[in-house]
Amino acid sequence: MIMSSSNGIEDTIVLDRIPEAGIRGEKILSSLSRRVQSVILNGILGLFSITCIFPLVWLFYSSLKLKRNFNSNIIGLPKEPTFENYIRIMTNPDYHIWSSMVNSARNTVMSVALIIFFGFIVGYILARIRFRGNFLIKVMFLLGLVIPVYSLMVPIYVLFSRAGLSNKWFTLVIPYLAFGLPIAIFLVDGYIRAVPKELEEAAAIDGSSFTRTLFQIIMPLSTPILVTIGIIQTFSCWNEFVFALLLLKRQSIQTVPLAMTQFTGQFSSDYPKIMAALLLTMSPIIVFYFVFSRQIIKGMVSGAVKG
């Protein structure tokens, strides 16, 4: 019955038949119910938004307390805020928090750069060049989108240690690249298909080589999709846990999530210190997110839906 009302003309006719007084009365009533509705809607959403951000706030002000102050009052604001916890974490190399952040940053930058670079090349080739094996390669990468990492835990662990690739500073870049490629390739592939190929033909007539056209004409054009790939992969590389758990045993090369699991085991009763460490290791992500939130939300969502 409601669906049928999509016909606009019918509605105006119905409305015309309602007597004036009725409309006025309804208007007063509806403005009241509107106000109630607005309070309810804004209230519920506000509450949920606050719960999403509250842990961050709680973490922040609690990390400024000392352990005993926290234990006596877990929710109150710090009476005498101190950066003691942060100073200890930053200055004590045995905690491995600072070094893990450096490792994570290096891994993330290297992996993201390689994923963008190779994802762009393979995506472009698969979208534009017909050759034997094109379809097969595409199917192969498509398979990578559906295989859960957890299905390959044991063989990857064995393969990496046999090949002497475990426990190296570059170890994680290899699986991050491999598991980042499929989504990057499909995003680039979809994007390139919308670019008119006359562009490359004109470039070729002007004497531009394939490589030059690829990097000097197509790559700048593809910046938006490459940025999207960069955003998605930055978060997934910085936050990745399983490969780090399987492939890195040496403390000096650990990434943030792995270092955090050991840190919390060590200081399981010192919550403010754990909170300081959590916040510190989350800080690059938090800053990045709140500065570019619009682009990040758009990028992450479009990546997931298209993938």
Partner 1 sequence: MLTAAIKPKKRVIFLYLLIPMAVYIFVVFIPLVAAFFYSFFEWKGGPNKTFIGFGNYAALIKDTTFWESFGHNMYIVIACIIGQVGLAFVFAMMISSRLVRLKGIHRTFCFFPNTISAVSIGFIWTMIYDYRRGILNWFLKLIGRPDMVKVWLNEPDLVLPLISIPLIWQYIGFYMVIIISAIASVDKEIFEVAELDGANGIQRAFHIVLPLIKNTLLVCVTLCIAGNMKVFDHIFVMTAGGPGNASNVMAMYGYKIAFDQQNMGYGTTISLAIFVLSMTVIGGSQVLVKILTKEKETL
Alpha carbons within 13 angstroms on the beta-carbon side of residue 259 total 27
C-beta atoms surrounding 79 within 10 Å: 8
Considering the rule CB under 8 A, would residue 211 count as an interface residue with partner 1?
yes
Considering the rule CB under 8 A, would residue 110 count as an interface residue with partner 1?
no
Considering the rule CB under 8 A, would residue 283 count as an interface residue with partner 1?
no
- Applying CB under 8 A, the span of 56-64, 82-90, 94-102, 219-227 interacting with partner 1 comes to 56-64
DSSP-assigned states of every residue in 80-93: S---HHHHHHHH-G
- Name the nearest CA neighbour of 136 among 123, 145, 126: 126
For the chain, the helix, strand and coil percentages under 3-state DSSP, each to the nearest 5: 80, 0, 20
Residues 80-109 that bind partner 1 (CB under 8 A): none
Considering the rule CB under 8 A, would residue 58 count as an interface residue with partner 1?
yes
* Contact in structure between 115 and 176 (CB atoms under 8 Å): yes
Q: Which of 2, 28, 139, 194 binds partner 1 (CB under 8 A)?
A: 2
* Contact in structure between 284 and 102 (CB atoms under 8 Å): no
- Name the nearest CA neighbour of 186 among 239, 229, 247: 229
Binding map of partner 1 across residues 239-278, x = CB under 8 A, - = no contact: xxxx--xx---------xx--xx--x------x--xx--x
Considering the rule CB under 8 A, would residue 179 count as an interface residue with partner 1?
yes
- Applying CB under 8 A, the span of 78-86, 95-103, 137-145, 218-226 interacting with partner 1 comes to 137-145
- Applying CB under 8 A, the span of 77-85, 86-94, 119-127, 219-227 interacting with partner 1 comes to 119-127
Residues 221-240 that bind partner 1 (CB under 8 A): 235, 238-240
Q: Which of 143, 221, 287, 291 binds partner 1 (CB under 8 A)?
A: 143
Give the whole-angstrom CA distance, residue 150 versus residue 141: 17
Looking up tokens 């490589």 gives: 211
- Applying CB under 8 A, the span of 34-42, 78-86, 87-95, 219-227 interacting with partner 1 comes to 34-42
Rank residues 105 and 137 by Cβ distance to partner 1 and give the closer one: 137
CA 261, 263, 269: angle at the middle one, nearest 5? 105
For residue 238, give the amino acid letter.
Answer: W
Q: Which of 24, 27, 197, 250 binds partner 1 (CB under 8 A)?
A: 197
